[in-house]
């Protein structure tokens, strides 16, 4: 009896069309990614709007933001000073009491702690001397990595966005203290948000380091200590 020899190649009989589809799609996607990466690598288009330094608008309040270690956070001693003064006028007589009371409150916000000190000393020699009385505020960072990064501030419900929405562009201006290279990106992002809100702004390089001690200079008047409000 004669048997026809069976062909053994049945497993390799495959239609190549789907594989070519897969190849084409993959190559297409990869080419798109490559083109995008090339465009990104060739150079950043930095857009800045005539950065001519101008004086801040008259009668507007400065709002300072510190850009450090890739993060941005607000900086203000106003609330600490409010706690110090507590609706009373500071004089040479009552300032030690006010300071003791303020320090007992352990003043802090989300990013910093504040404490006050009072120095009363004589400077000069026996015949020519002056009495120096200075109140200083010392600010400690709660966390050096605190604050928002460039991605976080772009969220609609970010602290930065909420703050920008809460302030009046006619009576406030934003000052950025830029501390390092790492923070240039967050500074640019934040400034774009501020510009979109129509708020005047400016920046300066900063060498700010914590703990930061700011002397609050006394005035010539014997009663009024002249602490900035």
Residues that bind other proteins (CB under 8 A): 4, 6-7, 9, 12-14, 16, 19, 22-23, 26-27, 30-31, 33-34, 37-38, 40-46, 48, 50-53, 178-181, 184, 187, 203-207
Q: How far is the CB of 43 from other proteins (least distance, A)?
A: 4
Residue whose CB is less far from other proteins, 55 or 125? 55
For the bound state, the minimum distance from the C-beta of residue 216 to other proteins, rounded and expressed in Å, comes to: 23
Q: Of the candidates 114, 116, 112, which has an alpha carbon nearest to the alpha carbon of residue 99?
A: 116
Q: Determine the angle formed by the axes of helices 184-196 and 159-166, rounding to 10 degrees.
A: 30
Q: Which is nearer to other proteins, 13 or 125 (CB)?
A: 13
Question: Residue holding tokens 């002249």?
Answer: 226
Q: Which residue's entry shows tokens 């419900």?
A: 157
C-alpha span between 20 and 28 (Å, rounded): 12
CB contact set of 95 (below 8 Å; sequence gap of 6+):
118, 133, 135, 225
- Residue number with CB closer to other proteins (95 or 178): 178
Residue with tokens 């400077």: 123
Least distance (Å) between residue 4 CB and other proteins: 6
CB of 115 to other proteins, least distance (A): 28
Cβ proximity to other proteins, 85 vs 212, nearer residue: 212
């Amino acid at each position: 009896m004669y048997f026809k020899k069976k062909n053994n190649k049945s497993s390799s009989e495959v239609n190549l069309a789907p594989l070519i589809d897969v190849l084409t799609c993959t190559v297409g996607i990869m080419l798109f990614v490559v083109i995008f990466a090339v465009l990104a690598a060739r150079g950043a288009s930095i857009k800045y709007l005539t950065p001519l330094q101008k004086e801040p608008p008259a009668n507007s309040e400065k709002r300072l933001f510190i850009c450090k270690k890739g993060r941005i956070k607000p900086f203000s001693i106003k609330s600490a000073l409010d706690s110090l003064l507590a609706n009373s006028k500071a004089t040479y007589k009552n300032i030690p009491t006010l300071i003791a009371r303020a320090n007992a409150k352990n003043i802090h916000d989300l990013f910093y702690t504040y404490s006050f000190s009072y120095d009363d000393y004589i400077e000069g020699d026996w015949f020519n001397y002056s009495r120096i009385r200075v109140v200083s505020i010392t600010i400690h960072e709660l966390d050096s990595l605190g604050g928002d990064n460039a991605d976080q501030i772009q969220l609609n419900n970010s602290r930065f966005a909420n703050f920008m929405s809460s302030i009046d562009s006619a009576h406030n201006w934003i000052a950025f203290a830029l501390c390092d290279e790492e923070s240039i990106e967050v500074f640019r992002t934040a400034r774009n948000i501020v510009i979109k809100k129509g708020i005047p702004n400016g920046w300066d390089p900063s060498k700010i380091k914590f703990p930061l001690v700011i002397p609050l200079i006394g005035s010539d008047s014997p009663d009024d200590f002249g602490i900035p409000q």
